[in-house]
Structure 1
Amino acid sequence: MKIKDTPLNDCYIIESTIFEDERGYFYEKFNEQKFEQLTGMNGHFVQDNISKSSYGVLRGVHLQKGEHAQAKLVSCLEGKVWDVAVDLRKNSPTFGKWFGIELTPENKLQLYVPRGFGHGFSVLSETAIFSYKCDNFYEKDSEGSVIYNDKDLNIDWKLPEDKIILSEKDMALPAFAEHNF
Structure 2
Amino acid sequence: MKKPVPLAKLNVKTSAGIISLCANESGISHLNFVPQAGDDWQTRELSLTASRYSVSTSLAEVHLQQAKDELLEYLAGKRQRFNVALAPQGTEFQQQVWHALSELEYGDTCSYADIAEKIGRPKAVRAVGTANGANPIAIIVPCHRVIGKNGTLTGYAYGLALKQKLLQLEGISLI
The TM-score bracket by the shorter chain reads under 0.3
TM-score by length of 2: 0.26
Q: Which has the higher helix share?
A: 2
RCO comparison, higher one (Cα < 8 Å, 6+): 1
